[in-house]
Structure 1
Amino acid sequence: MSWVGLIPLLPLLAALTIGIRMVTGSAKGETGELTTARIGVWMNLGALLLLLVVDGIALFSGTPPVATLGTWFESGPLQVSISFTLDALSLPVATLVALIAFLTQRFSVNYLHREAGFHRFFFGMSLFTGGMLLIVLSGNAVLAFTGWELAGVSSYLLIGYAYERPIATGNALRAFVTNRVGDAGFLLGIVLAVLWLGTVEWAEMGIRAAEFGTLTAGMLALGFVVAAMAKSALVPFSPWVARALEGPTPSSAIFYGSLMIHAGVYLLIRLQPILEQSPLMMGLIAAIGLLTALYGWFGGLVQTDTKSSLMFATTTQVGLMVVACGLGWFTVAAWYLALHASWRAYQFLVSPSYLEKVGHESHDKAPSRSRGLYTAAIQRFWLEAIADWLLMRPTQSLASDVNTFDQRVVNRLVGLPDTSIGPIRLDSAAASGRDVVRAHGAAGQLLQWAARWLNAFEQHLVFRGDGRLNRVLKRLGGYLFTVESLLERPVYLLLLIMATFAVIL
């Protein structure tokens, strides 16, 4: 099964090829759409066909539970392998991921025809497909984290698909910052696994965690649970996913309707041997899932557009899957995940047609009772405001401070002009005696001093009509003009040619 690594590699190669074509300018405009679409769709289809072959081998002759292709890196006793899990959980989910990704990309060929970001979209979709296949098929936490990051980056790129719109870029920033919290939790889980268990392989982690007891298993699972909460938009990380619908409908369907929103649930199912060692963590997961389901249900009741209603319904269903994991019904959660992903992808993809038939969005009215609950649902239980206060505002403040430091300190040190100073009119600057260019930093000051000295030399010695240097230059110019006029005469020109031949011979 050494060729199983081609399954996630094919979509990543598609993303690389499309990216190279975008950089070189060959993927540009409507003329390059067909080639870009073929690269993305056919590479994805290749991954799906390979998965179907592996599924057939697993059904009729069996496959090894883990296929190890080699060593990625090792440091001391720690060794991280390039390994893929081929069990009854990963293969069906991976096949579903490849199938939904293929259908969505094929749907997008016509849906995004003549869009300015057509090539960027297929780049992001191919990158996301490869990342999701890595998450599902990886045999260890480090390889899964690689796919985790690829899926997050592609999500950020496609939420900000219309990057000229501040709302789109702001929502992309919300999703990016929130998921960084989950990434920190995932890294914490990897570090604890290395320190306490000495391995990052999923199968070995479950076996060794049972030897360390309940407390160790709970602490180890905590980081991964935080990662699952952020990626699957569980309370209190739920607000970002409704904002993520700013991207095109196909990306909303595959990211937040069917696949990436379930990545956290899949991670919890994969951690079943570890979670079962900590009843307290299981109870916490069930409580978080229940709160998420209630949040999605109440929030969905007050939505007035189709995509937001579908997104809150997805949040509710994901919360119920997490409840099933917390109660120990991991097999039920896996079946629930597959069925819901298939149905929700279909709903998101047909939502534009539904809107075209209906012709307008629905509008709700405030109920006469439970106005407090209605207000809380409209405000999304103020989780969004809290997230902005805790995550968005500090990030934006840090970015503003870094930009100010760059303008006022770094630019001046290297001698770049200060962009905060407006343009200077050349005529007004010359009339007032001011410098046309304002220098900053040591290099800038030195260049400005040299420019001033040369300007003084020109003004006092060259441009003045009564200057001694000017008289000398005029006399020298007269001599040169006389020589030039003599050389233009035919006699002197013929003499010059004969002298040239004499020198050559």
Structure 2
Amino acid sequence: MSTLTESMRLVWLVPLLPLLAAAAIGMRMLFCRQHGDRHEPLTAGLASGAALGALLLLLLFDLAALLNGVPETLRSGEWLAIGLTQVGLSFALDAYSLPMATLVALIAWIALRFSATYLHRERAFPRFFLGMCLFLAGMLLIVLAGNAVLAFVGWELAGISSWLLIAYAWERPVASANALFVFVANRVGDAAFLLGIGLAVWSVGSVEWAALSGDGTLSVVSARLLAAGFVLAAVVKSAQLPFTPWIARALEGPTPSSAVFYGSLMVHAGVFLLCRLQGLLLQVPDMMLLLVVVGLTTALYGGLCALVQSDVKSALIFSTVTQVGLMFLLCGFGLFWLAACYSGLHAAWRAYQFLLAPSYMHLVRRPARPVPNWLARQSWLYSAALQRFWIEALANSLLTRPTLALGRDVRALDEQVIDPLLGTPRADHEVAKNHATATDELIGGHGFAGRALFAFAEWLQRIENRLLLRGNDSMMKPLRRIGRYADAIELLLEQPRYLMLMVMATMVVIL
């Protein structure tokens, strides 16, 4: 059985397999000009094969853990240094990471198999599987990482793949706008995660999860600041209030991606992070109280909004928000093991529901359930739930619009100040230059006759420039005098009597 235990040193292969599959799909997208039906099986096979390989490896590790126990943390050398703090390629293999990683690989493999048929003949078929492979690699890194820096790499991989698949139909303005909203909202959580890493280096001198849990010797202020960074990251990633609005926008992507991202896996990443840091959180009672308040209010918010939804996926996503809020509530009460079990069971059930969502209209023969009477009688509460308590509009005003305005200001500063200082031609000058070049290339003389005609035209152009564009030239005076005479004649001809005289003269000539 020692061979099984030794095989756990290959844990780095688990996130690497989907990364290699994503690289292979990306290379095929770059160098394969045609992406028809005959190319789909290979693309889908690469993605589902990588997920299956990761799943089989994790099942082998689970067997080794059951028979011989787990080594808790495996370290595979150093790969980064933050000041005096060394960051290693460490992987955590414990009662939290191994079951969650196995569930992630299983759900991702099922979703990828489902997607091969669901997205058949889609124009962006390879791009979808590329994003799914990146997401699987990111989620596996989040749950298997032994330190905060490696987990942050997975955190960002999951986030960027989520953004790519929300904007799957990028030619639609709604899809692009929703992807931007989700991207900006999640950057708040990413900044908080980075803040937590920085505080860990400063206060603890290590980014390993085991060291961050501490032994109770960390000062209250340092523990509170350190916990605040990671708690904020968890709140944003799991779409808890006040950051809930982004998750409803994220449903713009294809149904299989909604199933694994927001229905079952990524939405539970915040809960997993809290369970990983339970030793630290237990030292900060006020942060635990904050988790109770956030979880309870989010559960109430999600439950009320779910009751008034008219489509399947929106109802499911607000139900998911409610359940994840209850998991935060459990974490706030210190029941981390119950929250972890709850998240695993909920992930499996919600993935099944989301994958079944396209068939609900055919499976359900009765009309949708009406709004409960107690909610229908409270018109103000019903309206607020229907408008999702106006949090989305507030988030749009506070996040998306300022970001777009900042982007426009930076672009204007770059074009009007930075480029002239550096001597870079402005865009409008480049357009005018290209237009002039295109015009010169379009009007060109070929052969003796063509070149002679072109030379004659240039000579006439020089004469025109000399006569008309130089105001002090002596040749302009006669031309101006002739112009004044012509204007006088035109004014006379416009008089009625002279007009009648011209008509009578014309009649005389005709007769």
Normalization by structure 2: what TM-score?
A: 0.81
Match of 2:130 in 1: 123
Give the conservation status (yes or no) of the 8 Å contact 1:321–1:333: yes
Cα distance in 1 for partners of 2:355, 2:376 equals 35
Give the conservation status (yes or no) of the 8 Å contact 1:131–1:150: yes
Cα distance in 2 for partners of 1:361, 1:118 equals 34
Cα distance in 1 for partners of 2:426, 2:351 equals 51
Residue aligned with 1:414, SS: coil
Match of 2:495 in 1: none
Aligned to 2:105, which of 95, 98, 103?
98
Q: Relative to structure 2, which stretch is displaced further, 273-282 or 212-221?
A: 212-221
Match of 1:185 in 2: 192
Q: Does 1:148 pair with 2:148? A: no
Aligned to 2:390, which of 373, 379, 382?
382
Please tell me the residue identity of whatever aligns with 1:415.
P
State the shift of 1:400 in Å: 2.5
State the shift of 1:6 in Å: 0.1
Cα distance in 2 for partners of 1:76, 1:465 equals 69
Residue aligned with 1:74, SS: strand
| Cα gap change, 1:464 to 1:355, in 2 (>3 Å) | closer
Match of 2:425 in 1: 415
Please tell me the residue identity of whatever aligns with 1:344.
R
State the shift of 1:215 in Å: 2.7
Cα distance in 2 for partners of 1:465, 1:67 equals 80
State the shift of 1:288 in Å: 0.3
Residue aligned with 2:88, SS: strand
Aligned residue pairs total: 440
Match of 2:228 in 1: 222
Aligned to 2:65, which of 45, 51, 58?
58
Q: Does 1:248 pair with 2:254? A: yes
State the shift of 1:183 in Å: 0.3
Cα distance in 2 for partners of 1:399, 1:29 equals 38
Cα distance in 2 for partners of 1:39, 1:328 equals 42
Q: Does 1:172 pair with 2:204? A: no
Match of 1:463 in 2: 456
Residue aligned with 2:359, SS: helix
Residue aligned with 2:428, SS: coil
Q: Does 1:233 pair with 2:239? A: yes
| Cα gap change, 1:436 to 1:221, in 2 (>3 Å) | closer
Q: Does 1:135 pair with 2:145? A: no
Cα distance in 2 for partners of 1:380, 1:270 equals 32
State the shift of 1:90 in Å: 0.4
Residue aligned with 2:280, SS: helix
Match of 1:497 in 2: none
Aligned to 2:399, which of 379, 391, 410?
391
Match of 2:27 in 1: 20
For residues 276-355 of structure 1, what are the structure 2 equivalents within 5 Å?
Answer: 276-355=282-361
Q: Does 1:273 pair with 2:289? A: no
Give the conservation status (yes or no) of the 8 Å contact 1:112–1:118: yes
Cα distance in 2 for partners of 1:152, 1:260 equals 9
Q: Does 1:370 pair with 2:368? A: no
Deviations 1:20-40 (A, max 9, x none): 111112562322111101100
Q: Relative to structure 2, which stretch is displaced further, 83-92 or 372-381?
A: 372-381
Match of 2:43 in 1: 36
Give the conservation status (yes or no) of the 8 Å contact 1:21–1:27: no
Cα distance in 2 for partners of 1:191, 1:295 equals 33
Please tell me the residue identity of whatever aligns with 1:194.
V
Q: Relative to structure 2, which stretch is displaced further, 229-238 or 381-390?
A: 381-390
Residue aligned with 2:203, SS: helix
State the shift of 1:72 in Å: 1.0
Please tell me the residue identity of whatever aligns with 1:80.
V
State the shift of 1:402 in Å: 3.5
Cα distance in 1 for partners of 2:32, 2:209 equals 42
Residue aligned with 1:73, SS: strand
State the shift of 1:359 in Å: 7.8
Please tell me the residue identity of whatever aligns with 1:391.
L
Cα distance in 1 for partners of 2:332, 2:115 equals 37
| Cα gap change, 1:389 to 1:460, in 2 (>3 Å) | same
Give the conservation status (yes or no) of the 8 Å contact 2:241–2:298: yes
Matched residues, percent identical? 55
Give the conservation status (yes or no) of the 8 Å contact 1:232–1:260: yes
Give the conservation status (yes or no) of the 8 Å contact 1:286–1:322: yes
Q: Relative to structure 2, which stretch is displaced further, 175-184 or 358-367?
A: 358-367
Give the conservation status (yes or no) of the 8 Å contact 2:415–2:426: no
Please tell me the residue identity of whatever aligns with 1:340.
H
Deviations 1:206-249 (A, max 9, x none): 125x2113332121100001100110000000001011100000
Match of 1:5 in 2: 12
Give the conservation status (yes or no) of the 8 Å contact 1:232–1:318: yes
Give the conservation status (yes or no) of the 8 Å contact 1:304–1:361: no
State the shift of 1:419 in Å: 9.2
State the shift of 1:308 in Å: 0.2
Match of 1:69 in 2: 76
Please tell me the residue identity of whatever aligns with 1:187.
L
Please tell me the residue identity of whatever aligns with 2:23.
L
Cα distance in 2 for partners of 1:341, 1:417 equals 50
State the shift of 1:360 in Å: 9.8
